[in-house]
Chains A and B, each alone.
Chain A
Amino acid sequence: MIYEGKQKVWSDYQKDIPDDHYFYVRSCIRQSFFPASEVTFLDITRNRLGKDIFETEHHTTCGGIAYHSDTIPQETVMTIIARQFALMAKNGYENYVCSCITSFGLYCETMETWREFPEEEARIKDILWKTCKLDFAKPKYLIHASDLVYKYRNLIAAQAKHKLINVKTGKPLKVVEHIGCHYSKMFPSKGVGGAEYPYVLVGMIEAWGGEIVDYPERRHCCGFGFRQYFIKGNRGYSLSNTYKKFESMEPFHPDLIITNCPGCPYFMDRWQYVIAESTGRTYGEEGHGIPVLTYEEVAGLVMGYDPWDLGLQTHQIDSEPLLDKMGIEYDPAQKYAGKNGKDIGSPICPTCLK
């Protein structure tokens, strides 16, 4: 068969994703801001789909955010990564799945550096032994957690309680997919669908009934920029990038944004709040924002999890308009309740953003 155009590009960027048996490493940002997403990922994969996803408390940050803020040398992150790989091997795994996109890009970069400069891999091996008395084996398969949800998208669809369909109109929801830059911009062959037509989130949206929104700034960065966010004086950079994306997507009236990077949903959620509060401009319907969800949250909604178990109350943009469209029932009184209904108050409402 002769492939042409998008089909040709797609055929170049197929990715082998093993069905089972993974060593799981967490994300600093996802744990901090979307803790329920990692809980949901493990619940879906382990308990709903019966997969073997192993985690050890001994793994740490990969150091990626510090590295991309230029605070630690490349040797440091390569050795931390080698240590993570050693923990994987020590626990009898050869498939490695990570929650963080910055980590995923860094693992790809490290493996590529070692492939191109084997003497560097040997040097890191020595450093790891000297510092930790550990030996490592490289993963046979290096996977981002969104790759795995993509792999399981039809299994998830088979258990769906809800679809990405507006229950009132019967029409598919319009969904923007936003791919974290470090997923495939550096190494297109490592991502499902490459950098030009990444399919990892598109595949989920299609399988769960939604319609993809194509818009001019679809591949533009959310604006994290590492040092451009962590230093307050630089944050205009971050805000400007999100603003550019929202101005570009707004004419297409998206119902939902789905992301695979832990940082992007934080920035695209919070900068909508800042834009609304400082200018009055909102991008959703009737003064609301556009909900920006992680792929774990969307998978959870599709599978019938309670929205508050998924942590949707920890987004600044209200998810209720989306829940209503999907026909998902929720208890408003329990939105900000703690465990077992404990009263822990509620946040102050924004001034402009509904």
Chain B
Amino acid sequence: MGKYYDLLMKDYRLKEGLNACINCGTCTAVCPAAEFYRYDPRRIVDIVQSKDDAEIEKLLRSDTIWYCGECMSCVTRCPRKNAPGLIVMALRSLSIDLGFFIDSEKGRQQYLLSKDLCSNILDYGYCVYPRRFDYAGHPESGRIWEWEEKHLDDVFDRLGGNLDGDGPGVMRKIPQEDLDELKRIFDETGATERMENVRKAGERKAEEMGLSIEEFSSKVYNETNPKHLNQ
């Protein structure tokens, strides 16, 4: 008992985020995710502080830990200065490190998140890069983005941007030597290893589900089971 708890306690976010929880449920009352999903952050904190390995492993393999939006509204309100949002982040990290994330529908979404966000950082130096934000994949971005996407260079030029240009400015091209430094930071701090592990786990899961990687990606991006919803 306590193996997973001990692993979690190596994470600074748990050291900072977990004091004795009194189970008051304030975090759940203010949580935007708890209103939308079948989600109860109070229960998550209680399971973690119980140090019960079997229950923690269930959490690590579940959809539950992926419902949080990390807005951190819970942090402001907790009367005991716990940070359920940080505890969830530590659980997610451990779930990825142990490969458990791939067992749940919501956890599997890490395959695409990792691929898209990390490649934006390593290729361009930005988490979000407008040439990779397409209207087809984001119809809610509106007719306005449909138009902007077609005229991105002209729109940025009109608004004083420096899209992919040299020197400082809005959405400038970040010099290659700086991207090289980001890559070395990724390699040294475990980000590259995490990316690779998530990629391989996704590919294995696709094979196990009898799907091509394109079919798997489409399923992960578009589909959601109604069982998640709080209705």
Q: Which residue of B has the minimal Cβ distance to A348?
A: B143
Q: Which residue of A has the minimal Cβ distance to B116?
A: A230
**What is the minimal beta-carbon distance from B70 to any residue of chain A, in angstroms?**
5
Q: Assess A57 versus B117: contact at CB under 8 Å? Given A79-B185, A117-B12.
A: no
Q: Assess A113 versus B188: contact at CB under 8 Å? Given A181-B73, A195-B76, A339-B157.
A: no
Q: With the chains together, A39 CA to B155 CA distance in Å?
A: 13
Q: With the chains together, A182 CA to B85 CA distance in Å?
A: 12
- Is B9 an interface residue when CB atoms closer than 8 A count as contact? no
For A71, A228, A244, A346, the residue with the greatest tally of chain B CB atoms inside 10 Å of its CB is A71
Would B117 and A230 count as touching, CB distance under 8 A?
A: yes
Q: With the chains together, A4 CA to B71 CA distance in Å?
A: 29
A68 touches which one: B70, B73, B112 (CB < 8 A)? B70
**What is the minimal beta-carbon distance from B53 to any residue of chain A, in angstroms?**
22
Count the A residues whose beta carbon is within 8 Å of the partner chain — how many? 95
Would A270 and B141 count as touching, CB distance under 8 A?
A: yes
**What is the minimal beta-carbon distance from B110 to any residue of chain A, in angstroms?**
7
Would A344 and B155 count as touching, CB distance under 8 A?
A: yes
Would A231 and B113 count as touching, CB distance under 8 A?
A: yes
Would A185 and B75 count as touching, CB distance under 8 A?
A: yes
Would A314 and B154 count as touching, CB distance under 8 A?
A: no
Would A316 and B221 count as touching, CB distance under 8 A?
A: no
Q: With the chains together, A270 CA to B145 CA distance in Å?
A: 10
Chain A residues near B37: list those with CB within 8 A.
Answer: 237
Q: With the chains together, A104 CA to B185 CA distance in Å?
A: 21
**What is the minimal beta-carbon distance from A279 to any residue of chain B, in angstroms?**
14
- Is A132 an interface residue when CB atoms closer than 8 A count as contact? yes
Q: Assess A83 versus B12: contact at CB under 8 Å? Given A57-B174, A181-B73, A347-B144.
A: no
Q: Assess A76 versus B190: contact at CB under 8 Å? Given A131-B184, A221-B69, A339-B157.
A: yes
Would B72 and A28 count as touching, CB distance under 8 A?
A: no
Of A10-18, A58-66, A144-152, the stretch lying at the interface with chain B is: A58-66
- The binding surface of chain A is classed by DSSP as helix
Q: With the chains together, A338 CA to B154 CA distance in Å?
A: 6
* Per-residue contact bits, chain B 183-217, to A (CB 8 Å; 1 contact, 0 not): 01111111100110010000000000000000000
Of A30-38, A170-178, A203-211, the stretch lying at the interface with chain B is: A30-38
Would A65 and B117 count as touching, CB distance under 8 A?
A: yes
A residues 273-294 near B (Cβ < 8 Å) are: 273-274
Chain B residues near A346: list those with CB within 8 A.
Answer: 147
Q: Assess A61 versus B127: contact at CB under 8 Å? Given A71-B118, A120-B12.
A: yes
Q: With the chains together, A227 CA to B96 CA distance in Å?
A: 15
Q: Assess A74 versus B125: contact at CB under 8 Å? Given A83-B185, A237-B37, A338-B151.
A: no
- Is A241 an interface residue when CB atoms closer than 8 A count as contact? yes
**What is the minimal beta-carbon distance from B94 to any residue of chain A, in angstroms?**
11
**What is the minimal beta-carbon distance from A110 to any residue of chain B, in angstroms?**
10
- Is B130 an interface residue when CB atoms closer than 8 A count as contact? yes
A residues 328-352 near B (Cβ < 8 Å) are: 336-339, 342, 344-350
- Is A55 an interface residue when CB atoms closer than 8 A count as contact? yes
Q: Assess A274 versus B140: contact at CB under 8 Å? Given A76-B190, A76-B191.
A: yes
A residues 166-219 near B (Cβ < 8 Å) are: 181-182, 185-186, 188, 195-196, 219
Q: Which residue of A has the minimal Cβ distance to B70?
A: A68
A residues 24-75 near B (Cβ < 8 Å) are: 26, 28-29, 31-33, 35-36, 38-39, 55-61, 63-66, 68-75
Would B147 and A116 count as touching, CB distance under 8 A?
A: no
Would B16 and A130 count as touching, CB distance under 8 A?
A: no
B residues 113-138 near A (Cβ < 8 Å) are: 113-114, 116-118, 120-121, 125-130, 133, 137-138
Q: With the chains together, A241 CA to B30 CA distance in Å?
A: 12
Which residues of A approach B to under 8 Å, CB–CB? 26, 28-29, 31-33, 35-36, 38-39, 55-61, 63-66, 68-76, 79-80, 83, 105, 112-113, 116-117, 120, 127-128, 130-132, 181-182, 185-186, 188, 195-196, 219-221, 223-228, 230-237, 239-241, 244, 269-271, 273-274, 309, 311, 313-316, 336-339, 342, 344-350
Nearest 10 Cβ contacts at the A-B interface = A225-B69, A347-B147, A233-B224, A39-B160, A65-B127, A316-B142, A75-B189, A131-B184, A36-B159, A60-B125
26 of the cross-chain contacts (CB-CB < 8 Å) are A28-B126, A32-B126, A38-B170, A57-B168, A66-B120, A71-B191, A72-B189, A83-B181, A127-B188, A127-B189, A131-B188, A182-B72, A195-B76, A196-B76, A221-B69, A226-B69, A227-B66, A228-B33, A232-B137, A232-B221, A271-B140, A274-B140, A316-B143, A338-B155, A344-B154, A347-B143
